[in-house]
C-alpha cells in the first residue's frame, strides 16, 4: 500500500477514535463534569509536557535519558518559590555565583595563549590538576563561615509564619559589607584557577583564535561588575522585590527559575555528563545518583517539609469571577466557564504549556539552532564536519531541557505542595509521555502529554464514580503506553529505526 | 615522494596510523595534495580510503603521524576546528539531513552569515535541479539529487579543500557524467581530494593519484603514467577496475 495513504488512514483513524472517545466521555459524564475533568486533564498534560519536552529533546539529540529531570523540576520549584517568598537566599548567593562565573569566563581569553605553551607531556597532565586543586581550596575558603543554611531558613520562616500583609517582617540581616567583600573576591580567584585548568595549558587539541579579544573580554567584565552590584544590593534588593506587586514578583520568579534551570543544566552537562558520552549506561546511573544528591541537598537546606506557596494576587481573591474580564480585574481564585467552577490558576498552567510548545516549535523550525538540533539528531558527526561545535550545542540543549523542567516546577508551585519528592511522579509520567509520543519528537511529547493528562483526569473521575481504587487512574497511563507500543513500537510521532 | 611540485602542497598527510576501537585500520598512509589540483585516492573496498579522509578531518583522529593543512598541523584537533580552517566534506552515502529541506541543508553549512547568499548563484548554476527542489525535505530526493546536494553543501562556505568520498557510488551513468562535469568546474575554484572506485571516472578527472592498499599508501604519482601501467593497475586495483560496459550493466536497473 502507498505509505502516504497508509499514514493518512492511521492518522484519521486515531483522530476518529479519540473524537469518539471524547463524545462517549461527554455523554457518560455529562457536560459539567466533562468540562471540569477535561480542564484538569489539560492542566496535568501541560505539566507533563514541560517535563517531557525537555526529556525528549535531550534524548533525541544525545541519546541521554536524564533520570534527574524530576529532581530538576523540583529544584526549579524551590528556587522560584524561594525568590517569590523571600529572595534573601538568592541575593545572598548571587555575588558569589556571578564572581565565580566571571572568573571561569576568562577561559576563552587566556586559552589561545595557554594552549600554545611549550610544556612536556607530564606538565600538560599535572598543571590542570594543580589548578583545579587550588581552585577548590580557594572555593572552600570563600564559603567557609558563610551561613547558607541560615539564608535558606529565611524563606522557610517566611513561608511558615509570614502574614501576607507584611512580608518584610521576616527580612533578616546579613554579614556587614566590610566582612563580606572578601567572599566574592576569593571565589573570583577560584574561578580564575578553574579557567586556567580548563584552558588546557600546553594541550594543542584546539585552534583558539586570538582575535576578538575585546568581545571576549566583555562577558567576564560585565559579570564582574554585576557581582559588585549584587554585593552592594544584597540587602536592599530582596526588600525592593518583596515590596513589588505580587504578580510581577511571580513573573520574575518564573524567569529566575528558567535562568537557574538553564545554568544548572549547562553546568551539569559540562562537568558530569560530557565525560560519559562514550558510556551511555553510566549516564543513566549517574543521573539517577544525581537525583538523590539534589533531593538530599534540598532537604538539608529547607528541611524535609512540604511548603504551600502563597498564590500571586491574580489568583488569590476568594470568590468566583463571572467572566475572564472580571477575573483579570479582581484576581479571583475561581472562574465560571459555562456553568462550571474552574480554579483560575489551572488556566494559567495550561497557558504556560501552550506558550512553551509554541516557543519550542518556533525554535526548532525557524532558527539556526533548531536547524542544527534537527540535523544533529540524525547525524552529529556530519554536523561537526560542517564546522559546528556539536559539544556546545549539546550543552545548550541540555540547559534548555532543564530550564523547561524548572519552569514546570515553579509553574506547579502554587497548586502542588513544594517538597523534595514532588518531581518524581512527573518524571515517571514524563518518561511515559516521551515513549508514547516517540523518543526525540517534541510534537509527540505534546500530544502524548495531552493524552496522558486527559487519561489521568478521566481515570480519576471514573475511579471516584464507580468507587474503584485511584490506582486505576495511575494504571491507565501505563496501559495507554502498552497499547501504543504494541501498535507503533516507535511511538506516535517517532521515526522508525 | 621526491618529485618536485610546481605548486606548494595544500595538504600533507605524513605516515598516519589510525585505530578504530581495537582495529589498526591505517598503518602508514601518506598523501600529498598540491594546490589547485584533483588528486584521487584509489584502492580496493576496505583498503582504508574513507578512514584516511575521516582521519584528515579529525572524525577518526590518527594516533600517530602528521597532518598539515595550509601550513598548520591539524592532527589531534577537533573536527569542527579543522573544518573551519576551510575543508569541505562530501561523505560516502551523502549524509543528507533527512528532516531538513534542501535549502536548510545548504544553509546549515554556513560558517559566517551570508556565505550562502554569496555562493548560491554558483551552486544553482552548477546544479540547477536543486533550485527547483529547494523546498523539499531531504528524504524526498533521489540518490542522484542527494549526491548533488551533498556536493553543493560543501560549496556553501569558501573552502580551500574539498574531500569528496565516492561521488559516483550508486549513480546512473548519465548522472555520473553530470557529476564529473561538476567536479571539473569545481577544480578551477578549489583543490579536491577524491575517493573513487570507478577507475574510468578517476582517470578522466584526476591529475594525480594515490593507491591505498591494506591500510598503507603504496604508490602515488601522475595519473597520466598510471593509465599506461596496466600491470600496476591490475595488481592493486584488480576487481575494482570497471570498463564502461560493466558500468552500464551494473547501473541499468537503477537508472
Query: Residue B187: what pLDDT?
Result: 85
**Contact A407/A401 with Cβ under 8 angstroms?**
no
Averaged pLDDT for residues B73-89 = 88
Averaged pLDDT for residues A168-193 = 74
Query: Which residues in chain B have Cβ-Cβ distances shorter than 8 Å to A205?
Result: 76-78
* Cβ pairs bridging A and B (under 8 Å): 69
The DSSP annotation for A261-284 comes to HHHHHHHHIIIIIGGGTT-HHHHH
Q: List Cβ neighbours of A397 (8 Å cut-off, separation of 6 or more).
A: A57, A58, A61, A62, A373
Q: Which of A364, A372, A399 shows the shortest CA–CA distance to A388?
A: A372
Split at pLDDT 50, 70, 90, the class of B186 is confident
pLDDT at residue A170 tops 60 = no
Strands of the A340-343 sheet, one edge to the other: A317-321, A332-337, A340-343
- Nine-digit cell string for A199: 584552558
Averaged pLDDT for residues B209-231 = 80
Split at pLDDT 50, 70, 90, the class of A294 is very high
Shortest distance between the Cα of B178 and any Cα of chain A, in A, equals 25
Best residue in A202, A372, A385 for a mutation probing chain B (most B CBs within 10 Å): A385
Averaged pLDDT for residues B56-85 = 87
**Would you call A377 and B77 a contact, using CB atoms and an 8 Å cutoff?**
no
**Would you call B153 and A371 a contact, using CB atoms and an 8 Å cutoff?**
no
pLDDT digits (tens, 9 = 90+) for A330-347: 878 888 887 888 888 888
* Structure-model confidence comparison of residues B227 and A95, the more confident one: A95
pLDDT at residue B244 tops 50 = no
C-alpha B103/C-alpha B136 separation (Å) is: 8
Averaged pLDDT for residues A32-45 = 89
Query: Residue B255: what pLDDT?
Result: 37
* Structure-model confidence comparison of residues B12 and A165, the more confident one: B12
pLDDT at residue A167 tops 80 = no
Minimum CA–CA partner of A204 in chain B: B77
Shortest distance between the Cα of A368 and any Cα of chain B, in A, equals 7
Question: Which residue among A372, A378, A386 sits closest to B83, beta carbon to beta carbon?
Answer: A386
C-alpha B230/C-alpha A69 separation (Å) is: 64
Query: Residue A175: what pLDDT?
Result: 65
CATH architecture of B9-86+161-254: 3-Layer(aba) Sandwich (3.40)
Q: List Cβ neighbours of A482 (8 Å cut-off, separation of 6 or more).
A: none
pLDDT digits (tens, 9 = 90+) for A234-251: 878 888 888 888 888 899
C-alpha A409/C-alpha A418 separation (Å) is: 9
**Would you call B97 and A387 a contact, using CB atoms and an 8 Å cutoff?**
no
**Would you call A389 and B80 a contact, using CB atoms and an 8 Å cutoff?**
yes
Shortest distance between the Cα of B170 and any Cα of chain A, in A, equals 20
Minimum CA–CA partner of B139 in chain A: A378
- Nine-digit cell string for A410: 515553579
H, E, C per residue of B20-63? ECCEEEEEEEEEEEECCCEEEEECCCCCCHHHHHHHHHCCCCCC
Model pTM score: 0.87
Is B68's Cβ below 8 Å from some Cβ in A?
Answer: no
Minimum CA–CA partner of B157 in chain A: A386
**Computed from CA positions of residues A383, A389, A391, A396, in that sequence, does the dihedral angle turn out positive or negative?**
negative
The DSSP annotation for A382-417 comes to HHHHTT--HHHHHHHHHHHHHHHHHHHHHHHGGGS-
C-alpha B41/C-alpha B226 separation (Å) is: 13
Split at pLDDT 50, 70, 90, the class of B128 is confident
Query: Residue B1: what pLDDT?
Result: 44
Query: Which residues in chain B have Cβ-Cβ distances shorter than 8 Å to A390?
Result: 80
pLDDT at residue B203 tops 70 = yes
* Structure-model confidence comparison of residues A218 and A7, the more confident one: A218
Question: Which residue among A207, A368, A374 sits closest to B81, beta carbon to beta carbon?
Answer: A207
pLDDT digits (tens, 9 = 90+) for B52-65: 899 999 888 888 88
pLDDT digits (tens, 9 = 90+) for A85-102: 888 888 888 888 899 999
* Structure-model confidence comparison of residues A3 and A125, the more confident one: A125
Query: Residue A316: what pLDDT?
Result: 80
pLDDT digits (tens, 9 = 90+) for B6-46: 567 888 888 888 888 888 888 888 888 888 888 888 888 88
What's chain B's length in residues?
255
Shortest distance between the Cα of B220 and any Cα of chain A, in A, equals 27
Split at pLDDT 50, 70, 90, the class of B66 is confident
Q: Mean pLDDT lowest for which of A467-476, B82-91, B206-215?
A: A467-476
**Computed from CA positions of residues B41, B47, B49, B50, in that sequence, does the dihedral angle turn out positive or negative?**
positive
Averaged pLDDT for residues A364-388 = 90
Question: Which residue among A206, A375, A389 sits closest to B108, beta carbon to beta carbon?
Answer: A375
**Would you call B95 and A379 a contact, using CB atoms and an 8 Å cutoff?**
yes
Shortest distance between the Cα of A207 and any Cα of chain B, in A, equals 6
Query: Residue A75: what pLDDT?
Result: 94
pLDDT at residue A217 tops 60 = yes
**Would you call A206 and B111 a contact, using CB atoms and an 8 Å cutoff?**
no
Q: Which residues of chain B does CATH 3.40.50.300 include?
A: 9-86+161-254
What whole-number percentage of chain B has pLDDT above 90? 2
Amino acid at each position: 500500500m502507498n505509505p502516504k495513504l497508509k499514514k493518512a488512514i492511521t492518522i484519521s483513524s486515531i483522530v476518529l477514535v479519540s473524537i469518539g472517545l471524547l463524545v462517549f466521555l461527554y455523554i457518560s459524564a455529562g457536560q459539567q463534569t466533562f468540562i471540569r475533568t477535561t480542564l484538569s486533564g489539560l492542566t496535568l498534560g501541560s505539566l507533563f509536557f514541560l517535563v517531557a519536552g525537555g526529556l525528549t529533546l535531550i534524548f533525541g539529540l544525545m541519546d541521554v535519558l536524564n533520570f534527574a529531570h524530576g529532581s530538576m523540576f523540583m529544584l526549579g520549584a524551590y528556587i522560584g518559590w524561594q525568590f517569590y517568598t523571600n529572595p534573601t537566599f538568592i541575593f545572598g548567593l548571587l555575588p558569589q555565583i556571578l564572581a565565580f562565573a566571571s572568573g571561569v569566563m576568562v577561559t576563552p581569553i587566556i586559552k589561545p595563549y595557554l594552549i600554545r605553551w611549550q610544556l612536556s607531556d607530564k606538565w600538560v597532565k599535572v598543571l590542570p590538576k594543580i589548578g583545579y586543586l587550588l581552585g577548590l581550596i580557594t572555593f572552600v575558603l570563600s564559603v567557609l563561615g558563610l551561613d547558607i543554611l541560615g539564608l535558606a531558613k529565611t524563606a522557610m520562616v517566611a513561608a511558615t509564619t509570614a502574614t501576607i500583609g507584611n512580608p518584610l517582617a521576616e527580612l533578616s540581616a546579613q554579614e556587614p559589607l566590610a566582612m563580606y567583600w572578601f567572599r566574592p573576591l576569593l571565589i573570583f580567584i577560584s574561578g580564575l584557577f578553574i579557567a586556567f585548568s580548563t584552558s588546557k595549558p600546553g594541550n594543542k587539541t584546539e585552534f583558539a583564535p586570538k582575535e576578538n579579544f575585546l568581545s571576549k573580554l566583555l562577558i567576564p567584565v560585565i559579570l564582574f561588575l554585576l557581582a559588585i552590584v549584587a554585593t552592594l544590593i544584597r540587602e536592599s534588593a530582596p526588600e525592593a522585590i518583596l515590596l513589588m506587586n505580587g504578580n510581577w514578583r511571580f513573573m520574575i520568579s518564573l524567569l529566575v527559575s528558567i535562568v537557574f534551570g538553564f545554568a544548572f543544566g549547562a553546568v551539569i552537562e559540562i562537568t558530569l555528563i560530557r565525560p560519559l558520552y562514550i558510556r551511555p549506561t553510566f549516564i543513566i546511573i549517574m543521573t539517577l545518583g544525581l537525583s538523590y544528591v539534589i533531593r538530599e541537598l534540598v532537604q538539608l537546606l529547607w528541611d524535609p517539609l512540604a511548603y504551600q506557596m502563597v498564590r500571586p494576587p491574580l489568583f488569590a481573591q476568594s470568590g468566583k469571577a463571572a467572566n475572564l474580564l472580571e477575573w483579570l480585574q479582581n484576581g479571583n481564585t475561581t472562574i465560571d466557564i459555562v456553568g462550571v467552577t474552574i480554579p483560575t490558576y489551572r488556566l494559567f498552567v495550561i497557558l504556560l504549556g501552550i506558550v512553551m510548545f509554541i516557543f519550542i516549535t518556533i525554535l526548532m523550525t525557524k532558527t539556526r539552532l533548531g536547524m542544527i538540533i534537527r540535523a544533529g539528531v540524525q547525524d552529529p558527526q556530519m554536523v561537526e564536519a560542517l564546522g559546528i561545535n556539536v559539544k556546545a550545542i549539546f550543552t545548550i540543549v541540555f540547559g534548555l531541557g532543564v530550564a523547561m523542567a524548572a519552569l514546570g516546577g515553579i509553574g506547579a508551585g502554587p497548586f502542588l505542595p513544594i517538597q523534595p519528592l514532588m518531581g518524581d511522579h512527573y518524571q515517571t509520567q514524563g518518561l511515559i509521555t516521551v515513549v508514547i509520543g516517540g523518543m526525540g519528537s517534541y510534537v509527540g511529547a505534546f500530544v502524548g502529554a495531552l493524552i496522558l493528562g486527559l487519561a489521568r483526569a478521566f481515570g480519576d473521575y471514573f475511579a471516584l464514580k464507580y468507587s474503584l481504587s485511584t490506582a486505576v487512574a495511575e494504571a491507565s497511563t501505563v496501559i495507554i503506553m502498552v497499547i501504543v507500543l504494541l501498535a507503533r513500537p516507535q511511538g506516535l510521532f517517532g521515526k522508525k529505526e | 615522494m621526491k618529485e618536485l611540485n610546481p605548486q606548494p602542497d595544500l595538504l600533507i598527510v605524513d605516515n598516519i596510523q589510525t585505530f578504530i576501537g581495537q582495529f589498526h585500520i591505517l598503518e602508514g598512509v601518506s598523501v600529498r595534495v598540491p594546490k589547485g589540483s584533483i588528486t584521487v585516492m584509489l584502492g580496493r573496498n576496505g583498503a582504508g580510503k574513507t578512514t584516511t579522509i575521516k582521519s584528515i578531518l579529525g572524525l577518526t583522529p590518527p594516533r600517530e603521524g602528521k597532518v598539515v593543512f595550509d601550513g598548520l598541523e591539524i592532527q589531534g584537533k577537533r573536527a569542527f576546528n579543522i573544518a573551519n580552517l576551510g575543508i569541505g566534506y562530501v561523505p560516502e552515502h551523502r549524509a543528507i539531513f533527512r528532516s531538513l529541506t534542501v535549502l536548510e541543508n545548504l544553509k546549515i553549512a554556513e560558517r559566517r552569515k551570508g556565505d550562502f547568499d554569496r555562493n548560491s548563484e554558483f551552486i544553482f548554476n552548477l546544479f540547477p535541479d536543486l533550485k527547483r527542489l529547494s523546498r523539499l525535505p531531504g528524504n524526498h530526493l533521489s540518490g542522484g539529487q542527494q549526491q548533488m546536494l551533498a556536493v553543493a553543501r560543501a560549496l556553501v562556505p569558501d573552502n580551500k579543500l574539498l574531500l569528496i568520498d565516492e561521488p559516483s557510488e550508486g549513480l546512473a551513468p548519465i548522472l555520473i557524467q553530470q557529476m564529473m562535469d561538476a567536479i571539473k568546474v569545481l577544480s578551477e575554484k578549489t583543490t579536491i581530494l577524491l575517493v573513487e572506485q570507478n577507475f574510468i571516472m578517476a582517470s578522466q578527472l584526476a591529475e594525480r593519484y594515490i593507491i591505498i592498499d591494506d591500510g598503507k599508501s603504496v604508490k602515488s604519482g601522475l595519473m597520466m603514467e598510471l593509465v599506461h601501467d596496466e600491470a600496476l593497475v591490475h595488481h592493486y586495483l584488480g576487481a575494482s577496475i570497471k570498463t564502461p560496459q560493466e558500468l552500464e550493466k551494473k547501473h541499468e536497473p537503477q537508472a
